[in-house]
Structure formats: C-alpha cells, structure tokens
Amino acid sequence: MLVVCNYKIKNMTLITSNINEAKELLDNEDVVAIPTETVYGLAGNIFSEKALKKIYALKSRPSYNPLIVHIKSISDLHLVACEIPDKALKLADAFWPGPLTLILKKQPTISDIVTAGKQTVAVRVPNHPIALELLKKLDYPVAAPSANPFTSISPTTAQHVFEFFNSELKLILDGGSCIKGVESTIVGFLDNEVILYRHGSTSIEAIEKVIGKVKIFINDDVAPDAPGMLKKHYSPKTPIIRTDSIEESIKLHSNKKIGLLLFNTENTDLNIECQEILSKDSDLEEAASNLFAALHRLDKCKLELIIAEKFPNKGQGKTINDRLSRATK
C-alpha cells in the first residue's frame, strides 16, 4: 500500500477525499464509491447508460432491482419526479438532507435502467458534507445503490468498499465511517396513504410525527414491489442465526467455533472466539450505527456460526431486527 497525503492507492484503486477527482470520473461516465451518512454508495450519472450498466454489473444486481437517485437539494426534486403528493413534500422538508428515501412518480426523462422499468423513482438528499459538495459540483443527479455485491453486508467505511471491489473500482471517495450505519428508510405513497417499504435510519415514530399513520408494506417475495425488502439480504458469508436466548444457543452449538453479536452486555463464556457489543449504553441509534461494521469484523473471524441477539423492537431496534432477520434467512 502506498500512502500519499490523503491519497491511498491500493492496487489500482484510489481512496481519496479529493472531490474533483471523483467528479472527473463521473463526468466521464465512470462509477465511483461515495460516502453518505447511512452507507457507502456506488455512484454514476443517472443520464449515462454506460455508468448505470456498470453499477448493475459491479453489484451483480438483478436488472429488476431499481437504483436510488441522490439529488443535492429539494429544489432538484422536479428533475427526477412529478405529481409529488403533499405528504411527500412535508416529509422532504422535515427530513432532507437525511436518511429518508421517497418513492415518487418518475419524470419521463428518467430511464428504465434507473427504475428497472417501473413508473416510480426512489430519491433522497444525503446528509454527508462530502456527498453534498460533490452533488453541488455535478450537472446531474447520481444513482447510488449501496456499495456492496447483491445480498452481502452493506459497507460503512471506504475499506469495506475496497474489500468488496478491489481494482474493479477506480476511486473510493473517503468520508470516514458512516454516522448512521444503516440504510435510509424508504416510503411510498398510495391513495393518500404513506407506505413503509424499508425500515431504516429514520424511525417510523419520527415519520408519523410529521404525517400521521404509516402503513407497513408486507412483501410477498415473489414479485416484490420493493426489491429492497427481499427476504435474504445483508448477509455475512459465515452462517448466522438469531435467538431469544444466547446461553441456550451457545449450548446447542457448543461443538462449533462461535461468534456473538450482542446489544449491550459482554458474554463471559470462555469458548466464545469473537463477540461484538453494539452499544454498552443500550443506545439503539449507536447500536444501529455499529451493526454492519460489527458484522464485517465477525465475518473475518473464521467462525462456523454467528449468533445474534434479538434487539428491543422500537426505534432503531426495529431496523436492526429487520436487517438481522434478512441476514439470517
């Protein structure tokens, strides 16, 4: 590894905080990784077919799974969406920049590659200074799904992104560890109702304070309206289970090399090889921000099994439980 100022060159991947270098590649229809407050994204110009196809290819993402669009501010919303419901505008006002994605009717100019043929588009304004500065320098919004291969754990550091893609990616814009650490919450609108498609960094409780009751979408997993709700997702390579009783599960799997993913209290069993405590202070927001980084570390411990605790089902605990239930499918 060669380190020059804030540039780290690993093989042929530049890991840098130089926004202009990222802009140059994006202007040339290439794909770069960008930091956001939730997770890192794989970004490309929404008007470049070449860049969009490269995003799908890098992620091995099925073509039915649409891309999320990032804009610099609410004033750019009309570039990608039309017929915007009042409730959507209220939510955008309340939460942007921030981790809330809105599913809205798309503008005709938005290509089928972005939306996977749907008439709707997913859009948000990210709340990360580097992402916002980059977006302000660009003449176009970017599509940026999470920077991980299909179904694997989302990346919350530049290093996670590098480990997934190595030299397949020319540049990773380094914005440090993502503060929120889990993806944005996704909501859509149907007949004046607000539908939750994905739990995320904005809690349902906070959304309901702004627009009233939210309906939870139940996924059928066959022809999902929201592919982000696919049952298997966010998975480490190591087998992982969830349990109500850590002690009982340890006993049941005592012949295996076990790692633990815990909320607030260390386990004293001497046979445990690795364990991750997500928040010693029992703070669910802190726990969510540590979740994916902890899973990445556990996945490197050469374990035979990860046993994850169930989290309190409120606020960010709902999002953690959602991600862990998909990881364990």
In the complex, the residues that contact Mg ion under the rule CB under 5 A are 146
Smallest distance, Mg ion to C-beta of residue 55, A = 12
Residue 290 sits in the site that holds ligand TXA (CB under 6 A): no
Residue 22 sits in the site that holds ligand TXA (CB under 6 A): no
Smallest distance, ligand TXA to C-beta of residue 182, A = 8
Unique residue bearing structure tokens 């480490």: 236
Closest by CA position to 66, among listed 234, 182, 225, 195: 225
CB-wise, 28 or 119, nearer to ligand TXA?
119
CB-wise, 48 or 115, nearer to ligand TXA?
115
State which of positions 86-125 bind ligand TXA (CB under 6 A): 99, 101, 103, 115, 118, 120-122
For residue 36 the two structure tokens come to 């956001």
CA 116/CA 64 separation, integer angstroms: 5
CA 325/CA 216 separation, integer angstroms: 16
Unique residue bearing structure tokens 């969406």: 81
The SS3 assignment for 194 reads: strand
Chosen residue from 13, 45, 48, 146 binding ligand TXA by CB under 6 A: 146
Segment lying near ligand TXA (by CB under 6 A), choices 164-172, 225-233, 272-280, 296-304: 225-233
Query: Residues 15-47, buried b or exposed e (16+ Cβ, 10 A)?
Result: bbbebebbbebbeebbbbbbbbbbbbbbbbbbb
CB-wise, 16 or 235, nearer to Mg ion?
235
Smallest distance, ligand TXA to C-beta of residue 5, A = 26
Residue 202 sits in the site that holds ligand TXA (CB under 6 A): no
Residue 153 sits in the site that holds ligand TXA (CB under 6 A): no
Write the binding mask 49 to 78 for ligand TXA: x where contact by CB under 6 A, - elsewhere.
----------------xx-x----------
CA 182/CA 320 separation, integer angstroms: 8
CB-wise, 40 or 263, nearer to Mg ion?
40
Chosen residue from 16, 19, 25, 41 binding ligand TXA by CB under 6 A: 41
Output phi, psi for 274, to 5 deg. Answer: -140, 140
Element at 189 (helix H, strand E) = strand 185-190
Length of the chain: 329
**Neighbouring C-beta atoms of residue 142, cutoff 10 Å:** 28
For residue 113 the two structure tokens come to 């590659």
Chosen residue from 44, 98, 145, 236 binding ligand TXA by CB under 6 A: 145
Would the CA dihedral through 196, 218, 104, 200 be positive or negative?
positive
Residue whose CB is nearest to Mg ion in the complex, by number: 146
**Inter-residue contact 70 to 126 (CB < 8 Å):** yes
**Count of chain residues binding ligand TXA (CB under 6 A):** 26
Smallest distance, ligand TXA to C-beta of residue 258, A = 29
Residues that bind ligand TXA (CB under 6 A): 36, 38-39, 41, 65-66, 68, 99, 101, 103, 115, 118, 120-122, 126, 144-146, 183-184, 186, 197, 226-228
